[in-house]
Amino acid sequence: MEFKGKTVIVTGAGKGIGREIVRMLVERGAQVVALTRSGADVEALRGEFGCRAIQVDLADADATKEAAIAALPADFLINCAGTTELQPFLETTVEAFDRLVAVNTRAPMIVAQEYARSLIKEGRPGAIVNVSSVASFVGIPDHAAYCASKGGLDGLTRVMAKELAPHGIRANGVHPTVTLTPMAVKAWSDPEKAAGMMKRIPVGRFAEPADIAEVVLFLLSDQAAMVNGISMPVDGGYMIA
Ligand code: NDP
């Protein structure tokens, strides 16, 4: 997959899966506009990959809209930023729920709106990939707000796929299982929980960021021109186990 001459917006580009997506895109000829939170990551992305990097807290709706507009014009969009907080359902706080929905659900909508508006105005085609999770398909203990926020993201993906396709813009979702990133350390550092999860993955391992990035880039590319509105698990068979 070649992305020579293409500009791609990647949110959550500073760490984990987003960072690997940036590395692969740059290797394949793309210019990346990175949206991420930490200042150190912004500097690293500029230095290491020559990205145009914009520092933004995606929990802030106004700042997100401003950053999305500043990132344009672009050929493709990858909504990868995500966050989690572990709380049992009965102890899930309104504050944590709102934070997760703001970052995992609302921010992808805001960024995609600005991206799609600009393409439609210019009459250009495009593609969006939203990074969801297997957590949108199943109930994972202590992940109530996270599961809900990713389920909401899937709903957005499907509506975008229907409403934007007539304008030549596809939208798809990618659903990783546990992937070895800083987020996974936060969510799966309890060896007992990790072992239970691993047992349900037929390929017998957790994912690497590159496993997810390859699928994201495929769905973005013209090779996937007829793929629209899907929720693609990248889970080593977790969903059939
Ligand atoms: P990481 O925590 O490793 O990286 C997340 C990136 O998103 C960081 O660069 C982080 O920046 C950025 N980010 C988070 N919150 C904000 C915010 N409010 N504003 C701006 N940037 C923000 O996560 P992963 O790479 O593991 O996850 C990437 C995506 O994959 C997420 O959507 C996640 O839900 C999903 N996923 C991950 C799985 C896993 O096991 N790792 C499994 C299934 C899905 P900063 O560090 O500066 O806050």
pLDDT in tens, 8-50: 999 999 999 999 999 999 999 999 999 999 999 999 999 999 9
Has 146 been annotated as catalytic?
yes
Q: Is the pLDDT of residue 66 over 80?
A: yes
Amino acid at 164: L
How high is the mean pLDDT of the chain? 97
What number is the average pLDDT over the span 106-123? 99
pLDDT, average across residues 47-74 = 98
Residue 61 is predicted with a pLDDT of 98
Q: Which residue of 17, 64, 105 sits with most ligand 1 atoms within 8 Å of its CB, as the best mutation to test the pocket? A: 17
Ligand 1: does its nearest atom lie under 6 Å from the Cβ of 108?
no
The whole-angstrom separation of Cα 42 and Cα 223 is 31
First to last CA, the chain: 31
| Beta bridge partners of residue 171, listed in sequence order | 128
Residue 1 pLDDT > 80, yes or no? Answer: no
Domains of the chain in sequence order: 7-233 (3.40.50.720)
Q: How much is the pLDDT for 183?
A: 86
Distance (angstroms) between ligand 1 centre and the Cα of 82 equals 4
Q: State the pLDDT at residue 185.
A: 84
Query: Can you give the pLDDT at residue 218?
Result: 98
Q: How far apart are CA 237 and CA 172, in angstroms?
A: 19
Determine what percent of the chain is predicted with pLDDT higher than 90.
93
| The pairing of beta strand 31-36 with beta strand 7-11 | parallel
- Find the mean pLDDT for residues 145-155: 98
Catalytic residue among 115, 146, 199, 238: 146
Q: Looking at the predicted structure, is the pLDDT value of residue 241 above 80?
A: no
